């Protein structure tokens, strides 16, 4: 029996997609700490279920280039790796579920949180974008964009809640270091300041030595730094 590459990729993308949605469902019970499901969380759950069914239908009904499925599958796996990294680094933080009505009571600033303020939301967005790529359909843009907007609203809502807690100052400092959904790039001014010679640095020292040579003075021997164990 000849192996059908197209149907094999359809099956693989579908299995990874369903498994990823399943791990999100697991996290709502076993990882995030919330007393109940808010209306916003209910909306996201409905959108997630509807989008998953929509993407499964497109995958199995319409044809897609094998490369699109392979790329989409790779993006899905990257999102899953980011998700589990965030899970491992936030196990003790007792993070709340999306759109929880209560204020946050934990702040994580290491692992993926060192670079992203909301790595869970980033992983969700990447996952749906990857599944959308695998469908190779322009219709996939609509639900992916809707999911992005929902998680953007959720992230901004959480940041407003942080400003009302005793962690407000710590979170403000965290915002300066980490990006919202993607790593914060250094500003050009910061790079310029880091490249400028510091007082007592090599550029200044070389300038003084050159002046002494012009005046016939012998420059002092280089300083040796001693470090104690």
Return the pLDDT at 215.
Answer: 54
Least confident of 41-50, 92-101, 118-127: 92-101
Half-sphere exposure at residue 201, Cβ-oriented, CA atoms within 13 angstroms: 7
Q: Cα(214)–Cα(210) distance, rounded to whole angstroms?
A: 6
Return the pLDDT at 188.
Answer: 54
Question: 36-42 long-range contacts, Cβ below 8 Å, gap at least 24?
Answer: 37/97, 38/97, 38/99, 38/100, 38/101, 39/99, 40/98, 40/99, 40/150, 40/153, 40/154, 41/97, 41/98, 41/99, 41/100
Please, what's the largest Cα pairwise distance for the chain?
Answer: 90
- What is the arithmetic mean of pLDDT over 174-196? 72
Confidence bin at 66 (pLDDT 50/70/90): very high
Residue 194 has pLDDT above 70, yes or no: no
Q: Is 66 exposed, middle or buried (0-12, 13-18, 19+ CB in 10 A)?
A: exposed
Return the pLDDT at 110.
Answer: 93
- What is the arithmetic mean of pLDDT over 187-198? 49
């Amino acid at each position: 029996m000849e192996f059908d590459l197209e149907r094999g990729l359809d099956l693989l993308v579908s299995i990874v997609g369903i498994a990823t949605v399943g791990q999100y469902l697991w996290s709502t019970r076993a990882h995030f700490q919330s007393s109940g499901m808010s209306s916003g969380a209910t909306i996201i759950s409905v959108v997630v279920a509807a989008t998953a069914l929509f993407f499964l239908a497109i995958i199995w009904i319409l044809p897609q280039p094998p490369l699109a499925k392979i790329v989409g599958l790779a993006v899905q796996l990257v999102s899953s790796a980011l998700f589990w990294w965030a899970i491992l680094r936030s196990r003790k933080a007792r993070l709340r579920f999306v759109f929880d009505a209560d204020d946050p009571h934990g702040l994580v600033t290491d692992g993926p949180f060192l670079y992203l303020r909301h790595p869970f939301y980033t992983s969700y967005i990447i996952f749906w974008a990857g599944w959308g790529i695998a469908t190779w359909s322009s219709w996939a843009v609509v639900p992916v964009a809707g999911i992005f907007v929902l998680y953007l609203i959720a992230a901004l809502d959480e940041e407003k809640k942080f400003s009302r807690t005793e962690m407000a100052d710590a979170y403000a400092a965290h915002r300066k270091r980490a990006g919202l959904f993607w790593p914060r790039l250094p500003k050009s001014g910061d790079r310029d300041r880091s490249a400028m010679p510091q007082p007592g640095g090599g550029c200044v020292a070389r300038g003084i030595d050159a002046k002494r040579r012009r005046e016939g003075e012998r420059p002092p021997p280089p300083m040796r730094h001693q470090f104690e164990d």
